[in-house]
Amino acid sequence: MAEFMTETEQSSPVVPHPGTTGERRGRAGGSDAGPYDGQEAAALLERTRTLVDPELRAALESLPGSLRRIALYHFGWQHADGTPARDNAGKAIRPALVLAAAAALGGPTAQAAAVRAAVAIELVHNFTLLHDDVMDRDTSRRHRPTVWSVFGDADAILAGDALQALALRLLAEDPHPASAPAAARLADCVVELCAGQHADTDMERRAPDEVTLDEVLAMSEAKTGALLGCACALGALYAGAGDEDVAALDGFGRQAGLAFQLIDDVIGIWGDPRHTGKPAGADLASRKKSLPVVAALSSGAPAAAELAALYAEPYVSGDAEGVVRTALAVERAGGRDWAQTEAADRMARAVQELSRAVPAPEAADGLLALAEFVTRRTG
């Protein structure tokens, strides 16, 4: 969304991290290579898709006819007419966290045992995406029309419900001793996700000056941090970790999840549609009270009043100039700078949590690479 930026603002929303990939490799006695390039995370994500996709696809194929077709369309494996497709099934960040956490605490054997848990996390994540798209009326995801816009609201909601049920069935049928506590933890996470979504929809009905930054941070932890924390905790459970280490991994995922959400909100305003797959400024057009917006509104800066006035008016379809003006007001009121600084702080907290359970830098590499990946992306 280059038209939202000045010539000096064309950089991607990169977060300065404590302990970048190059730095932690140096401490571990490996390469002192420089800037993070995402190759380590990309390899982890590719391996995750290789491990997870066969069991994920088998779970989806177990659904009855029409639900199966809708789910396979959502994952990019079928076109709307039921013919095969090879579209983007998503980055697999959450299942990668499950496997990386299991490997960090229990090695390759624990990682192999945790594949079903990784699939369960991916199913729950996609259940939330299907429902979110209906509630937010988003018409595009992963560069193709959303399920509700193709099949209708009812089918999208029911397909999401079916994915959640599949996730819990996978864990219920898993003979691994960690499956029962993992299922209970995942169920608790779903309740927290729903509470976070409820808080989000409630905030959307309130005036901009009635929503506090603390409220939005709490909502974001529930909506985004909870599932990333749960993913890491499930990996720890499958590695046979004790309660303290499971809690530390959950804390790592939650803090990294908040950093993820902060950068996602930055992308929702200033991201390039070619990368995001969504229209430019979609969050502003929908008057979403994202973290940068609420930070800007509560900043006390002169531009905050302008932003409040803009948000008080309903968006007029096709008003590109209005979206540009709103984005500039958020930026002038400090919303963008605050979000990027806060994301860096949350990553620092995440690293502290991780070091409690995984003190050896080389064992933590996979988890840190994934956390860096999600907070250094542009779409």
Three state DSSP letters for 28-69: CCCCCCCCCCCHHHHHHHHHHHHHHHHHHHHHHHCCCHHHHH
303 occurs within a structural domain: yes
Q: Judge contact between 285 and 292, C-beta under 8 A.
A: no
22 occurs within a structural domain: no
Opening angle at CA 214, ends 252 and 351, nearest 5 = 15
Residue-level pLDDT at 8: 31
Q: Which two tokens stand for residue 203?
A: 């905030």
pTM of the model: 0.87
Instruction: List, in sequence order, the alpha helices (H) in 86-145.
Output: 93-113, 115-136
25 occurs within a structural domain: no
Residue-level pLDDT at 340: 94
64 occurs within a structural domain: yes
Q: Based on the structure, what is the number of domains in the chain?
A: 1
Q: How far apart are the first and last CA of the chain?
A: 11
Enclosing domain of residue 65: 2-6+37-375
Residue-level pLDDT at 56: 97
348 occurs within a structural domain: yes
30 occurs within a structural domain: no
Residues with Cβ within 8 Å of 31's Cβ and at least 6 positions away in sequence, in order, are: 22, 25
Q: Which of 210, 327, 207, 349 is nearest to 265 (CA)?
A: 327
Instruction: Check residue 163 and give left, alpha or beta (phi > 0: left; psi -120 to 50: alpha).
Output: alpha
| Residue pointed to by tokens 């540009």 | 324
How many residues are given for the chain? 379
Residue-level pLDDT at 149: 98
Q: Which two tokens stand for residue 57?
A: 């696809």
Residue-level pLDDT at 93: 95
27 occurs within a structural domain: no
232 occurs within a structural domain: yes
Range 198-233 burial, b when 16+ CB lie within 10 A, else e: ebbeebeeeebeebeeebbbebbbbbbbbbbbbbbb
Residues with Cβ within 8 Å of 126's Cβ and at least 6 positions away in sequence, in order, are: 74, 75, 90, 160, 163
In a structure prediction context, what are the per-residue pLDDT tens digits for the chain, which is 379 residues long?
333 333 333 334 444 444 443 344 333 333 333 445 589 999 999 999 999 999 999 999 999 999 999 999 999 999 999 999 987 778 899 999 999 999 999 999 999 999 999 999 999 999 999 999 999 888 988 889 999 999 999 999 999 999 999 999 999 999 999 999 999 999 999 999 999 999 998 998 888 889 999 999 999 999 999 999 999 999 999 999 999 999 999 999 999 999 999 999 999 899 887 776 667 788 898 888 999 999 999 999 999 999 999 998 888 888 899 999 999 999 999 999 999 999 999 999 999 999 999 998 899 999 999 999 988 865 5
The H or E element spanning position 318 is none
Report DSSP state, residue 140: E
Residue-level pLDDT at 277: 62
Q: Which two tokens stand for residue 16?
A: 């300065």
Q: Which two tokens stand for residue 63?
A: 């659904």
State how far the Cα of 350 lies from the Cα of 224, in Å rounded to an integer: 14
Residue-level pLDDT at 11: 38
Query: What CATH number does residue 55 fall under?
Result: 1.10.600.10
| Residue pointed to by tokens 């038209």 | 3
